[in-house]
Amino acid sequence: MSQSTTLPEFNRTALLLDVDGTLIDIAPRPDLVVVPPGLVQTLHSLRAALDGALAVISGRPVEQVDLLLDKAPQAVAGEHGGAVRHAPDQPIERPALPTPPPEWLAAAERLAASHRGVLLEHKARGFVVHYRAVPELGPMLHDAVLAILENSEEFAVLAAHMAWEVRPRGTDKGIAVASLMERPPLRGRVPLFIGDDVTDEDAIVKARAMGGAGLRVDAAFGTAGDVRAWLAEAASLGGWPALPLPGPA
């Protein structure tokens, strides 16, 4: 996808955004991220300009996203779609999905504790083994996590930013896009999704399949900072600026 990519008409767009690596810079640990000055205001402005059709899709829990972004997005799909709130004043909806058994979590805790630099992140329906500090352990940790799951048909191991994430099958960011687009104020609009990671590919594909656009940060923008600048310009113009990079997205 190139700079000449046709984006949805601004006033018909439903804007859906990833968080880590897209809106905010990746940090050594998920709890060390910093929300850049001006980002929340940009999101509030875009939400108003798009008549509320602004949503965030993240691997983080909805509660964490709301704390980081001050409920600026109209809707949030957290845990890769495993939890959704469609408006700031509405409760979080959780599809019927399995949770990992306690013995898996105990094994994952032992795995992380036995390798300095490995971090275990707990989620409501899964867990993430982070190895950013020790990238050479990535392949070994992948095999170890697969062994913990014991060929489970209910859960999958997915690659993320220097991490292996265990989550239930039957939910991904593409499914989250479809779910969010079913409800107003996104319903009836054309999706534009922006993400940066392997876990965002499902959402990119889904947005394109629905007649919209799906953009990868590295190919269409460069960095999360470039995404923020582009979104701020869009909020100011009331329209989509040219994409910064010409490469395929």
Q: Is 18 a catalytic residue?
A: yes
- Asked, for residue 232, whether it belongs to a domain, the answer is yes
Look at the pTM and tell me if it is higher than 0.85.
Answer: no
* Separation between Cα atoms, residue 179 and residue 176, nearest integer Å: 5
pLDDT per position as a tens digit, 151-209: 888 898 988 888 998 988 878 899 999 999 999 999 999 999 999 988 899 999 999 99
With respect to residue 4, please indicate whether it lies within any of the assigned structural domains: no
3: how many CB neighbours lie within 10 A of its CB? Answer: 12
Q: What is the DSSP string of 172-197?
A: -HHHHHHHHHTSTTTTTSEEEEEE-S
**pLDDT above 60 (res 3):** no
176 shares a domain with 133:
no
- CATH number of the domain residue 133 falls in: 3.90.1070.10
Domain span holding position 26: 10-94+171-237
Could you tell me the CATH number of the domain that includes residue 84?
3.40.50.1000
